């Protein structure tokens, strides 16, 4: 197994954050990212970059963090008892984008690297990540293209990679209490190390780099679509599902909040404005019903 | 120990729901409650009553539910292994009120009764409940009166009752990731049965009946207070904390969502409109800072 190199992963992540922010600024055409650097008492820190009230993006948050600790948190060793007592490093880029126009989907992407050290033993490490799309008024063309980009970037790593991580994504971003997927999915992977460091890192880079390739064309295509109060209302309502998922189920969010992570960076994923409405159901045959009927359940797109 | 009588508790709860809805309609002066009755496949059901877009209340939800099951849920027996395998009944009234005017606090109240049956053994039962207040622009007079009403209703049950349940409330409605209490508290009790059924039921009734006594004068006093965009913005922002607490920490919410409760009734607690803003902090010396500095930490009020 090739030797893991945290330095080169970190350099990639910082560069990825820069490139994604630059790409989003270009798509927005108006607003810029502001940056907040922070440190963590227990070790490490990060830089949170946020764009607000843009022409295209109501809010976009792109976090980089690199945290270290003297001992693995209990929650991370429950299913990996062999890691108990090891020191660790975790680093990643995580982003959530809330566009203004309800015809542009919300999206989330994350790539991460974890390494657990122990004197006199080989480090234990793995990669994780993925990206997923949450449309309000979906276009089949957009969803197919999104998944085609995901599939294409997976292909060099094997024919089984896309189906496996597409399925994992559908399963992970699911709200049992609504019996809905969060959106139309994409890729989700974790615990990746079986092919060795170089190949695993290559895949993580392909996912990180693939995100804008997948998202930018959808933004370009939909950003001028006219919309009114009805579409805005539905977008705000559906953003409530995003909040429900992130606060009730998302492991990264809960782990962060419960282990003293930087709250403002973790909750950068929260939409700037959200609506709840008791017992709302879309009118049969409406564009809103189309989302529920055809997109909020796992489906083969490519 | 006096014999528990679920029928009389249920009659009280249904009447309490009626009286609270009538009282809130009177306070609102414009909107009325609509009712949805529902049943649960596993047994039991409830009636959810919701008032929306009133003159005073942006949304008020008052739930009654009475659910039964053949076996205690695992999550409820983890700390009470003696109850494993028993059938159960749970009934309660639960409400959350989101007023329009930012000078009127949001509030929550709940009273509940739980009973676990087993052939040939005495039933195991207990009461729980409480009420708590979440101001945006607090008035010390309101908070003191709220706690005085809470204290007064506790006094007939012993001098130690108010301090004990006031403290429990402060501890329960706390957001560790914000290092803030949810609001200014009130009362929170659970596992109440030590004094026997009659006395315990008396206390639960006192709490249920005390809620409007405590809340109505505050609504009357603040409902005409003029406010502008600044106060509305801050109210929407602070409502985000309510969402964070309910979805991340509230045991009732999580238990309900994870055990197939009626989602729309459980999430009636969600505010109709909510705002998040990255890295917001109130300006020093402002009315918004006053909330953070003097109200979002446990404090003796009476």
Q: How far is CA A131 from CA A111, A233, B196, in A?
A: 9, 26, 56
How close does chain B come to A259, measured CA to CA in Å?
A: 9
Of the candidates B66, B79, B108, B117, the residue annotated as catalytic is B108
Q: Does B175 touch chain A (CB under 8 A)?
A: no
ipTM above 0.85, yes or no: yes
Q: Is the pLDDT of residue B224 over 80?
A: yes
A147 a known binding residue?
A: yes
Collapsed DSSP state (helix, strand, coil) of residue A161: helix
How close does chain B come to A236, measured CA to CA in Å?
A: 9
Interatomic CA distance for residues B82 and B77, integer angstroms: 8
Report yes or no on A1 lying in a domain: no
Cross-strand pairs, B128: B112
Strands, E assignment, A106-201: 106-117, 124-134, 174-175, 180-181, 185-192
Interatomic CA distance for residues A206 and B159, integer angstroms: 66
Contact across the interface for A278 and B263, Cβ inside 8 Å: no
Q: Which of B142, B148, B288 is nearest to B220 (CA)?
A: B142
Contact across the interface for A176 and B258, Cβ inside 8 Å: yes
Phi first, then psi, for residue A94 (nearest 5°) are: -140, 135
Residues annotated within a binding site of B for a divalent metal cation = 98, 108, 147, 177
Q: CA nearest B280 in A: which residue?
A: A264
Interatomic CA distance for residues A294 and B7, integer angstroms: 46
Q: Does A41 touch chain B (CB under 8 A)?
A: no
| Burial grade of B228 (CB within 10 A; 0-12, 13-18, 19 or more) | exposed
Report yes or no on B302 lying in a domain: no
Report yes or no on A87 lying in a domain: yes
Q: Does B279 touch chain A (CB under 8 A)?
A: yes
Residue A66 bears catalytic tag: no
Please tell me the least confidently modeled range out of A117-126, B52-61, B176-185.
A117-126
Residue keyed to tokens 């009315």: B287
For B51, the domain range is: 6-295
Report yes or no on A123 lying in a domain: yes
% of residues, chain B, pLDDT over 70:
99
pTM for this one? Answer: 0.96
Interatomic CA distance for residues A127 and A112, integer angstroms: 6
Q: Does A155 touch chain B (CB under 8 A)?
A: no
% of residues, chain B, pLDDT over 90:
87
Contact across the interface for B243 and A248, Cβ inside 8 Å: no
Contact across the interface for B263 and A176, Cβ inside 8 Å: no
For B278, the closest of A52, A177, A258 (CB atoms) is: A52
Q: Which residues of chain A fall short of a pLDDT of 70?
A: 1, 75
Please tell me the least confidently modeled range out of A79-93, B8-22, B130-144.
A79-93
Please tell me the least confidently modeled range out of A47-61, A72-86, B118-132, B269-283.
A72-86
For B257, the closest of A177, A270, A279 (CB atoms) is: A177
Q: Does B229 touch chain A (CB under 8 A)?
A: no
| Residue A183 and residue A118 in contact, taking contact as beta carbons nearer than 8 Å | no
Report yes or no on A301 lying in a domain: no
The CATH number linked to A159 is 3.40.1500.10
- How many domains, chain A? 1
What does the H/E/C string look like for chain B? CCCCCHHHHHHHHHHHHHHHHHHHHHHHCCCCCEEEEEECCCCEEEEEEEEECCCCEEEEEEEEEEEEECCCCHHHHCCCHHHCCCEEEEEEEEEEEEECCCCCCEEEEEEEEEEEECCCCCCEEEEEEEEEEECCCCCHHHHHHHHHHHHHHHHHHCCCHHHHHHHHHHHHCEECCCCEECCCEEEEEEEECCCCHHHHHHHHHHHHHHHHHHHHHHHHHHCCCCCCHHHHHHHHHHHHHHHHHHHHHCHHHHHHHHCCCCHHHHHHHCCCEEECCCCCCCCCCCHHHHHHHHCCCCCCCC
Report yes or no on A128 lying in a domain: yes
Q: Does B275 touch chain A (CB under 8 A)?
A: yes
Q: Is the pLDDT of residue B220 over 70?
A: yes
Residue B143 has a pLDDT of 98
Q: Does B240 touch chain A (CB under 8 A)?
A: yes
According to DSSP, the β-strands at A273-275 and B34-39 are: unpaired
Report yes or no on A147 lying in a domain: yes
Residue A104 has a pLDDT of 98
Contact residues, chain B, for A258 at CB < 8 Å: 176-177
Residue A1 has a pLDDT of 52
Q: Is the pLDDT of residue B1 over 80?
A: no
Contact across the interface for B271 and A276, Cβ inside 8 Å: yes
How close does chain B come to A150, measured CA to CA in Å?
A: 30
Report yes or no on A183 lying in a domain: yes
How close does chain B come to A293, measured CA to CA in Å?
A: 19
Residue B255 has a pLDDT of 79
| Residue B192 and residue B130 in contact, taking contact as beta carbons nearer than 8 Å | no
Contact residues, chain B, for A247 at CB < 8 Å: 243-244, 247-248
């Amino acid at each position: 197994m090739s030797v893991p190199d945290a330095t080169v992963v970190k350099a990639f992540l910082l560069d990825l954050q820069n490139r994604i922010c630059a790409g989003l600024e270009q798509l927005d055409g108006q607003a810029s990212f502001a940056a907040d650097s922070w440190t963590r008492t227990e070790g490490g820190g990060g830089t949170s970059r946020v764009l607000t009230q843009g022409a295209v993006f109501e809010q976009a948050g792109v976090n980089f963090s690199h945290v270290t600790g003297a001992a693995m948190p209990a929650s991370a060793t429950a299913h990996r008892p062999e890691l108990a007592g090891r020191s660790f490093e975790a680093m990643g880029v995580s982003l959530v984008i809330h566009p203004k126009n309800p015809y542009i989907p919300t999206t989330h992407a994350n790539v991460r690297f974890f390494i657990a050290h122990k004197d006199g033993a080989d480090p234990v490490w793995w990669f994780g990540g993925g990206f997923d799309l949450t449309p309000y008024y979906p276009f089949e063309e957009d969803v197919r293209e999104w998944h085609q980009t995901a599939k294409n970037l997976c292909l060099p790593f094997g024919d089984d990679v896309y189906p496996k991580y597409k399925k994992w994504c559908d399963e992970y971003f699911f709200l049992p209490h609504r019996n809905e997927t969060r959106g139309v999915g994409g890729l989700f992977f974790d615990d990746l190390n079986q092919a060795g460091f170089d190949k695993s890192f290559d895949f993580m880079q392909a996912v990180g780099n693939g995100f804008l390739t997948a998202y930018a064309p959808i933004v370009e295509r939909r950003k001028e679509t006219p919309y009114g109060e009805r579409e805005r209302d539905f977008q705000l309502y559906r953003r409530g599902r995003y909040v429900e998922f992130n606060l009730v189920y998302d492991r990264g969010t809960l782990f962060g909040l419960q282990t003293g992570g930087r709250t403002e960076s973790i909750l950068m994923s929260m939409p700037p404005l959200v609506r709840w409405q008791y017992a709302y159901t879309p009118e049969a045959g409406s564009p809103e019903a189309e989302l529920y009927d055809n997109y909020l359940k796992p489906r083969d797109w490519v």
